[in-house]
Every structure is written in structure tokens, then in C-alpha cells.
Homo-oligomer: A and B are copies of this chain.
Amino acid sequence: MAFAHHHLLGIAGLTPPEITALLDLAEEAVDVSRQVEKKKVALKGRTQINLFFEASTRTQSSFELAGKRLGADVMNMSVKNSSVSKGETLLDTATTLNAMHPDILVVRHNAAGAPQLLARKVGCSVINAGDGAHEHPTQALLDALTIRRHKGTLEGLVVAICGDIMHSRVARSNILLLTAMGAEVRLVAPSTLLPDSVEAMGVKCFRDMRKGLDGADVVMMLRLQLERMNGAFVPSIREYFHFYGLDEEKLGYAREDAIVMHPGPMNRGIEIDSSVADSGRSVIHEQVEMGVAVRMAIIELLAKNSLDIQPAELD
């Protein structure tokens, strides 16, 4: 198995064969969760710590079940970092946990780069579960697995990512993975939510859903990150839905067999209409299922490799 990494910090740095290998192992994990006894023993006697500086019920649950189904002891730690001086505490917290000999440290943090910083300081494998507006690699991997199961391959597909590109680590990780695997990625968003910098990532940008979705195999909606918008990015929710909310009419521009995706949790009636979200073309629930599978795969792979970690900066 050609997967020699100690950490999963982002999609950047993974090669297409590594991504393929990871998705192949995840396919096996799908079957594990569908059995009555949902167990592998790959992580027996080992310790996984979920260190969430940012709350996320859904992502944390997915990692928790993934770890438990692999046989690991899983410990959840929610750290409210509002009241702490950021940099110091982040490292002190992580090095303290590291002294308890975890094998896997799953980290979510509102600062881009936090998992990378930790990975240099600890003697275990670090998985980035979302860092600021930077990356959310397991989300991109579960999206890729879902697409591959429906379309057979990623290569040559037209994938339209729509909505709040600006604030989305999901978009960023997906762009990196999908372009690496040979898909054509289109971004569809109002100018205020579409940073100029993305053009350099080899994608096509659209302001009009009709043009952006024309002939798309996959329509991936993003959550409107209402809580992150401190400026006037969107004139009004109603107008946003009118121009960018996915309803049956706009979906009509995509291919007839196009699938609809959303990382969740959905703002129904804002970025997606319920008639589409609950339709037969929606694979949103399958994305959740694939999330557990992809996380089982990456935890298993990293746990094998973690035995050789010799952190340069560890005292």
C-alpha cells in the first residue's frame, strides 16, 4: 500500500494513487458499518483523541464512530478557546495530550494551520478535521468516495461547487482533490463570495447558476456560513436563494443523471430547496455514511504508520 504519510493535514500533498488507495480501503469500511457486528480490530488497544476547538456534532460523531468501530479507545475533548490565549494554549494542550500517548489526534480549530503546527510537536498522527478556511480533507475524501460510487470514476467529470466559496474549507479541499483526480471543477457564486485567488487553482468561475451547472455531472452545494459573515456578503437571504439556491429549475440545467451533494447541515430554503434535498438525485445521506467509512480508512492507515513517528521538535 503506497500511503507513507504520518498525518493527514490536507489534500495538498496527496498523490492521485494515494487518494485512490485510500478510497479503495474506505470501500471495505463501508461494508463493515453495514454488517450487524460493525467491527474491525485494527486499532485494538490504541487511543484516539478528538480535540475540537470548534464545536461540530456531526464531524466529531463521525470520527468517534469510526474510531470505535476500529476497536480504538476514543476520548472526546471539546475545548472552548474563546477565553484562552490562542497560540500558547493550543500547543500546551496538544503536548499535554501527547504525553498521554495517543495514537491518533483528530483536530478541529478555527485557525488555519493549527493542525500543521501540532503535527510538528506531537509523537502521534494528526488528522485535520477542519482548520479555519484552509482545508477539511476528510470531507473532500468522503465526497470523492460518494461520487466515485455513483459515477465509477472522478476523471473527466464536471463538478459544479456552488455558494460560499470564500469561507469554505470544504470547497478548497474539494478543488484540490477533484482537479488532482482529473475532474473539471467549476465554481458558481456571487462575486463577493468568490475570491480571485481560486482562478489559480485551475477552475472555472461562474456567477450564473445556469451557465455553471450546464452539463454538470455533480452539483455540490455549500452551506452558507451565516455565522462567519461579518460583512455584507449577501444582500438578503431571499435574494440569495433566488439567484443561488438550488431548486428543481436550476438543477434542470445540469445533466439528467447529475447527483446533488451538500456537506451538511443544510440551511433548507437558503442554499437548497427541500424538493431537491429530499429527491432521488440527492446523495446527501450517503455522504454521511461515506464519512464514517473514509475516516475508518484514514485512521487505520495512519495508525499503522504512526509507529515510526519521531517528531523533531518533541522534547
The chain A residues found within 8 Å of chain B, CB to CB, are 33-39, 44-47, 49, 57-58, 61-62, 64-65, 68-69, 73, 75, 77, 79, 88-89, 92-93, 95-101, 103, 264-266, 268, 278, 280, 282, 285-289, 291-292, 307, 315
**B99 lies within 8 A of A79 (CB):** no
**B100 lies within 8 A of A315 (CB):** no
Task: Tell me the complex Cα distance, A280–B46, Å.
Answer: 29
With contact pairs A65-B100, A96-B288, A285-B95 given, residues A57 and B36 touching in the complex (Cβ less than 8 Å): no
- Which of A89, A92, A95 has the largest count of B CB atoms less than 10 A from its CB? A92
Task: Tell me the complex Cα distance, A10–B268, Å.
Answer: 31
Q: How many copies are assembled?
A: 3
**A101 lies within 8 A of B46 (CB):** no
Task: Tell me the complex Cα distance, A286–B95, Å.
Answer: 10
**A44 lies within 8 A of B37 (CB):** yes
**B45 lies within 8 A of A98 (CB):** no
User: Which residues of chain B come closer than 8 Å to A75, judged between CB atoms?
Assistant: 61, 64-65, 68
**A47 lies within 8 A of B73 (CB):** no
The 8 Å CB contact of A101, one of B97, B101, B292, is: B292
User: Which residues of chain B come closer than 8 Å to A77, judged between CB atoms?
Assistant: 57, 61
**B101 lies within 8 A of A289 (CB):** yes
Task: Tell me the complex Cα distance, A278–B92, Å.
Answer: 10
Rounded to whole Å, the gap between the CB of A97 and the closest CB of chain B is 7
**A307 lies within 8 A of B36 (CB):** yes
Rounded to whole Å, the gap between the CB of A60 and the closest CB of chain B is 9
In the complex, given contacts A92-B268, A99-B285, what are 19 additional A-B residue pairs having Cβ atoms less than 8 angstroms apart? Answer: A47-B65, A47-B68, A49-B61, A58-B96, A61-B75, A61-B77, A65-B73, A65-B75, A68-B75, A88-B268, A92-B265, A96-B285, A96-B288, A99-B288, A99-B289, A100-B288, A100-B289, A101-B289, A282-B315
